[in-house]
Structure 1
Amino acid sequence: MNSRYFPTSLLALTAAAIGAGFTTNDSLSAQDAAGKTASGVVYLDANQNHVRDTDEKPLPDVKVSNGRDVVATDADGKYSLPVDNDTIVFVIKPRGYRTVQDENHISRFYYIHKPEGSPKLDFPGVEPTGPLPSSIDFPLYAVEEPDAFDVIFFGDPQPRDQKEIDYIAHDVVEDLVGVKAAFGVTLGDILFDDLSLFDSFNRTLGKIGVPWYNVIGNHDINFASENDELSDETYERVYGP
């Protein structure tokens, strides 16, 4: 396992590689073959209560995606995207803002639309989400973001069991607590096949105290799934897209 700081220039290259799979289409039709549309508002959550209050302003020109198409919010912060019954809708964080974080500082910038949920798997996937909500809104929070900043990258930590997570906690995480980094990213192989350890590993990294993002690796999938399409269901439940 490797952990170290990387300059902003390397981060920019990583972001460009991740974004290369998307096609921006601001004039996208709101209907897919099934006629389903996800819509909502991106807004500045001034009081940070995760609810859009009447006096909280919408945010225009923020990108939102369904993993295939990208649209920009209009002057009223509104967007619409086609969805099917296995879609994750997510907001793309603009500069000067942050997304919602959970108790372990993992960014929750998405909504999973999977009405029937995942099929039964050795490691649980997504629970049924039910009908598509009438509005899927994304709160953002204003933050200062300097031109130069530090980032924490973890490469292939892949603990096999709780004992190895404890090693990471003692040998790596303890030294990073309180570090002034903008955020952290685990670059795949978060675990070594035992996906029941996601929660424990998240709690461990959460002690660092910075926003955290994750990239799926080949050891983070359900090997017992019946096909490749279903192999990331557990990862999606825990981390989203």
Structure 2
Amino acid sequence: MKPTPFCLLFTLLAAPPVMADMPSCGSGHVFDDANGNGARDAGEDGIAGVKVSDGMRIVETDSTGRYAGLGGDAARTVFLVKPAGYAPASRADGLPDFWRNPPAGAGHSLRYGGMAASSCRDFALRRTPPRKAGIEVLVFADPQPKSMVDVDYYRRDIVEPIAGTHGAQLGMSLGDIVNDDLSLYPAMNRITAGLGVPWLHLPGNHDLDFDASRDEDSLLSFRNLYGPDTFAWEEPELVFIGLDDVIHLPGQKPAYTGGLREDQFAFLEAYLRDAPRDRLLVVAAHIPFFDTSKVPGRPSFRVADRERLFALLRDFPRVLLLTGHDHTQRHVRHGAVDGWHGAEPLHEYNVGAACGAFWSGVKDDAGIPDATMSDGTPNGYATLHVQPGGAYALSWHPARHRERADFTKAVALHAPAVLRQGAYPAWAVYANVFMGQQDQRVEYRIDGGAWKPMTKASRADPRMLAENVADDAVDALRGFDRSPEATPSLHLWRGTLPTDLAIGAHRIEVRAFDAWRGEQRASTQYRLQAAAP
């Protein structure tokens, strides 16, 4: 008789660990670290009911805080699911101390060293003091430095401007922490740790050990510093599930695809069975769950894996997907055609890149590249605000933003400087609304007149086309790399400019009604000039 999924899950969770003679961190304790020193001192009791996992199986601590039965495969990282109301200790490098890599390590012959030998210490958790309801999360996608020069751009452009001033309690990087050079990890980690909040890291396709001969070993160097590639983390307002969704395909072109492994599905099935449903469930990964492939018959994310994941998420009342990878920005609402059969469309926010267009473009007075992405979105970072009950708000923050009338934190405008009075009205103002969605309300007016709707435009942002033309027109590079070739923007609106007004300057105002920030405005001007044939 074919076993039911429940029976399979019960067998998986109840089965004794295999390869038990090999060293692992499959047993230990979770304790209440009352003095916050990370070590268990006299009088510090164990914590019952904490979930601990090896990325496949999940067990809970008993009344003494003890867990056992994990890590039968000696290469598996063991981690705890951080419970709401507690915080883990910090490692020496500033990362949250919620995992244990296997004692023997693995992949020592890999170019970047693989996973070093580790120790199986008990897990320390300390109770967090009461805080105001609601949580803010910093979300970075694709910092992706290729050298220490780019690491310095990341420090000066993204991190230092908000260090000590942001209001976040948690942070997450959605992969491509570096651009293939894994020796840059420690430098990147030191900089990010300066933000002073627990920081979670997911791997991207540029975080792989490309000399690994199989997918299972392709993140050993990543895991050496950043811990598990798949995990869960709980806060009173939300649950984070972080997923490695990059499948390494050694010897193939491309050398990866989007998808999930069987051990990840085992973890998801075990965890989601009784995961909290009274808060927002955030599933974060690197490669988008929607299809970005330009090759027919070769989807960018394995269709069967997406449908299987979506089936596991279906009964949760509030779900948000966060992804990176594309170096553009968009919102996607999944429906039946994508395998989602929930009561409401499933929202995926594909976050713009911290490095923008790979740290390209003309440098400013501080020596930092423009880095605007091909769809006209400035490089930067996102924030996620979550309230009790799961209501959430998203914001995009351009890096080192300098407010201008025509380039605000939410909207960038492009309009011709001058038009001929009486010319056929074929020219327009364009509004790139960085967080714009398909049904967004965007309006404009001239000289304080009546507001008129702008039309969604399926074309490249003229600001990026102008950069392309400027790069083409010179015989020397204007920066280390040119700005990217402009691509059609999914958040661009157009409003025709009238030419039957008086000669002289005319003020253009644009307002966009953001779903979370409310009304956002920007302004510019154009001039009408008399001309003779």
Alignment TM-score, normalising by the size of structure 1: 0.81
Residue of structure 2 in register with 1:222 after alignment: 209
Residue of structure 2 in register with 1:113 after alignment: 102
CA distance in 2, matches of 1:196, 1:162: 10
The offset of 1:195, in angstroms, is 0.3
Q: Trace 1:126-205 onto structure 2 (pairs within 5 A).
A: 126-129=115-118, 136-144=121-129, 145-178=131-164, 179-205=166-192
CA distance in 2, matches of 1:151, 1:116: 32
Pair 1:74 & 2:62 matched: yes
CA distance in 1, matches of 2:191, 2:30: 31
Residue of structure 2 in register with 1:96 after alignment: 85
Larger Rg: 2
CA distance in 1, matches of 2:160, 2:206: 25
CA distance in 1, matches of 2:118, 2:141: 32
Match of 1:210, SS state, is: coil
The offset of 1:118, in angstroms, is 2.1
Question: Is the alpha carbon distance of 1:24 and 1:46 closer, same or farther for their aligned partners in structure 2, counting shifts above 3 Å?
Answer: farther
Question: Is the alpha carbon distance of 1:59 and 1:27 closer, same or farther for their aligned partners in structure 2, counting shifts above 3 Å?
Answer: farther
Match of 2:161, SS state, is: helix
Match of 1:151, SS state, is: strand
User: 1:65 touches 1:81 (CA, 8 Å); kept in 2?
Assistant: no
Question: Is the alpha carbon distance of 1:69 and 1:111 closer, same or farther for their aligned partners in structure 2, counting shifts above 3 Å?
Answer: same
Which structure has more helix as a fraction of its residues? 1
Match of 2:135, SS state, is: coil
Question: Is the alpha carbon distance of 1:61 and 1:146 closer, same or farther for their aligned partners in structure 2, counting shifts above 3 Å?
Answer: farther
Cα shift readout 1:31-90 (whole Å, capped 9, x = no counterpart) = 323235721111111122222123001111111001101111111111112322211111
CA distance in 1, matches of 2:174, 2:15: 34
Is the deviation greater in 142-151 or in 91-100? 142-151
Alignment partner of 1:85 out of 74, 90, 93: 74
CA distance in 1, matches of 2:158, 2:93: 17
The offset of 1:129, in angstroms, is 4.2
Pair 1:51 & 2:36 matched: no
User: 1:25 touches 1:70 (CA, 8 Å); kept in 2?
Assistant: no
Instruction: Structure 1: state its 5+ residue gaps.
Output: 1-22
Q: Trace 1:21-40 onto structure 2 (pairs within 5 A).
A: 28-29=13-14, 31-35=16-20, 38-40=26-28
Is the deviation greater in 137-146 or in 88-97? 137-146
> Which amino acid in structure 2 is aligned with residue 49 of structure 1?
N
Question: Is the alpha carbon distance of 1:154 and 1:24 closer, same or farther for their aligned partners in structure 2, counting shifts above 3 Å?
Answer: farther
Question: Is the alpha carbon distance of 1:27 and 1:229 closer, same or farther for their aligned partners in structure 2, counting shifts above 3 Å?
Answer: closer
Residue of structure 1 in register with 2:326 after alignment: none
The offset of 1:124, in angstroms, is 1.1
Residue of structure 1 in register with 2:49 after alignment: 61
Question: RMSD of aligned C-alpha atoms?
Answer: 2.3
CA distance in 2, matches of 1:65, 1:201: 27
Alignment TM-score, normalising by the size of structure 2: 0.38
The offset of 1:205, in angstroms, is 1.0
Equivalences, count: 215
CA distance in 1, matches of 2:10, 2:147: 44
Question: Is the alpha carbon distance of 1:63 and 1:24 closer, same or farther for their aligned partners in structure 2, counting shifts above 3 Å?
Answer: farther
> Which amino acid in structure 1 is aligned with residue 214 of structure 2?
N
Is the deviation greater in 115-124 or in 27-36? 27-36
Residue of structure 2 in register with 1:14 after alignment: none
The offset of 1:127, in angstroms, is 2.2
The offset of 1:229, in angstroms, is 1.9
Query: Kindly, what percent of the aligned residue pairs are identical?
Result: 35
